Chain A
Amino acid sequence: MENILKIKDLTVTIGGKEVLSDVDLTLLPGKISAIVGESGSGKTMMSLAILDLLPDVAARISGEILFRGKNIFDMDNKEKQNMRGNSISMVFQEPFTALNPVMRVGEQITETIAAHKIISEEKIQGCLKGLLKMVKLSEDIASCYPHELSGGMRQRIMLAIALSCDPEILILDEPTTALDVSVQKEILDLVMGIQKERCFSILFITHDFSIVNMVADEVHVMKNGRVIEKGAKEIIFKSPENEYTRHLIDCIPKLGDERERLPESE
């Protein structure tokens, strides 16, 4: 199958320190690929690199990121602008800081649509209704401010914004880390449902292997800026080759856990 996104030998440094080292990653159309790792492993740097949003202090030493065969580092600003949101969009971890606190959430959704498409106000309102329905929120939510909504509802709004321009790739950066486990399941079920319907690709970033098991087809395990293991989810779970991968799986308490202690790193 032809890949939609391919990262080749990407090395990025910040202040002389390598934050990404020789990273290779392939994302296939309609598939969900997970990047798992602890904080500081380079997961978020990778997602920022894909949108060419790395901080100014970061320097790319080598490598390329090919979106539909085209290196994003060769694109001009207009092409990049067009790619962001339209082709690749992102949902961030903390929905409360990602949303504008003084703007009604409906406007935040329509603003995105208006920025990317030239269509009539009437059509924009139609899109808004469709998007709210898709993320299973009622229409009157549009007139609320972010602080009036629960964490789960805010993340649904973020999802509506990210999906407003029908992207081909959705990057989810720890989308449920700030949420309760029961709300987490609702949001993940929702994302998976929409993904199945619309068939876009997802790059799912998380520190939690139990979530990987729920959502992913492919898994990339990251440590200190390197991809140390990758493969199909079933294989990684059944027989992880890397000691560190096994550790990340084992350190999660399970229901009915008989263990008295959990394995610790180092």
Chain B
Amino acid sequence: MNAIIEVTDIKKYFAKKSFFYGAEKMPVKAVDGVSFTIDKGKTFGLVGESGSGKSTIAKLVTGILVPDSGKMSIEGDIDIVFQDPFSSLNPRMTIRDIVGESLFVKGVNREEIEDKVVKILHRVKMKNMECLDKYPHQFSGGERQRIAIARALVTQPDIVVLDEPVSSLDVSIQAGILNLLKDLQEELALTYLFISHDLRVVEFMSDVVGVMKSGKIVEIASRQEIYSNPQNEYTRHLLSSIPKI
């Protein structure tokens, strides 16, 4: 198989300390023995409620956190897009600096940075290049998320972790971002780890879906199966919470 990410039985516990006495309580098992693989060019969708451990997995896979135990093999460069485009972009930096920062850190020269930043902003359909000298607050939520996507893609990663990339957006803006992510995946042969609490969105985006609850993946199935033939009680509960149109 051509798995680009292989995660085997990873665990991450957080010590929960009492505020007043410093006495140790039971640890919070944020990620409690999770395994999955993602094939190259595919999307693995992770769905679950807040507190289920989805974002901890995003942080473990991107190396922001280190797992307590378990094995992870990741072939290629990885980058991340966060949920809230209002807090994930530095309000005091221009779009040029936000998107170009990671190239600057890598020591790329100025002209090349400018060239790459302009190209990637075009790709995420930020057409008007006046945006380069603007600040995040001058953009709408959807535009900010496009900028966040550009920032993640400017270093040409192989894998992108998308942690609730559309949950703070209007449904009509959401549609545009989801389409964009699909286009980019095809053009750039990206592999996605797509995280959301909304099964509709996960299903729309993913090839394989994992359902998470209390730090564990309770069900993994293909996009079609998870909807037409859910095996787990909790998956069925999530399905039943979705408003019907």
Contact = CB atoms under 8 A, between A and B. Distances in A.
Interface of A: 38-39, 150-151, 180-185, 207-211, 213-214, 237, 247-249, 251-257, 259-265
Contact of B171 (A181, A251, A257): A251
Contacts of A255: 199-200, 203, 227, 239, 242
Given A181-B198, A254-B245, A262 B170 contact: no
Nearest to A183: B49
A184 B198 CA distance: 11
B172 A265 contact: yes
B197 A180 contact: yes
Interface residues of B, number: 33
Contacts of B227: 255-256
Nearest to A176: B243
A38, A39, A181, A265: residue with the most chain B Cβ atoms closer than 10 Å:
A181
7 contacts: A210-B171, A237-B245, A253-B175, A254-B200, A255-B200, A257-B203, A260-B182
A184 B171 contact: no
B199 A181 contact: yes
A260 B181 CA distance: 12
B178 A262 contact: yes
Interface string B12-49: 00000000000000000000000000000000000001
Contact of A39 (B141, B178, B200, B238): B141
Contact of B244 (A207, A210, A257, A264): A210
Nearest to B52: A180
Nearest to B201: A253
Contact of A264 (B176, B197, B199): B176
Contacts of A150: 50-51
Given A181-B197, A185-B240, A252-B175, 9 more contacts: A181-B198, A182-B238, A185-B241, A208-B243, A210-B245, A214-B243, A251-B172, A252-B200, A255-B200
Interface of B: 49-51, 140-141, 170-176, 178-179, 182, 197-201, 203-204, 227-228, 237-245
B180 to A, nearest CB: 9
A208 B204 contact: no
Contact of A210 (B197, B240, B243): B243
A213 B244 contact: yes
B203 A211 contact: no
Contacts of A261: 179, 182
A256 B202 CA distance: 11
B172 A181 contact: no
Nearest to A262: B175
Contacts of A213: 243-245
Contacts of A151: 50
Contacts of A185: 240-241, 243
B173 A249 contact: no
Shortest beta-carbon contacts, A-B, top 6 = A262-B175, A210-B243, A253-B204, A251-B175, A185-B241, A182-B241
B194 to A, nearest CB: 12
Nearest to A261: B179
A248 B171 contact: yes
B171, B175, B176, B241: residue with the most chain A Cβ atoms closer than 10 Å:
B171
A39, A214, A247: residue with the most chain B Cβ atoms closer than 10 Å:
A39
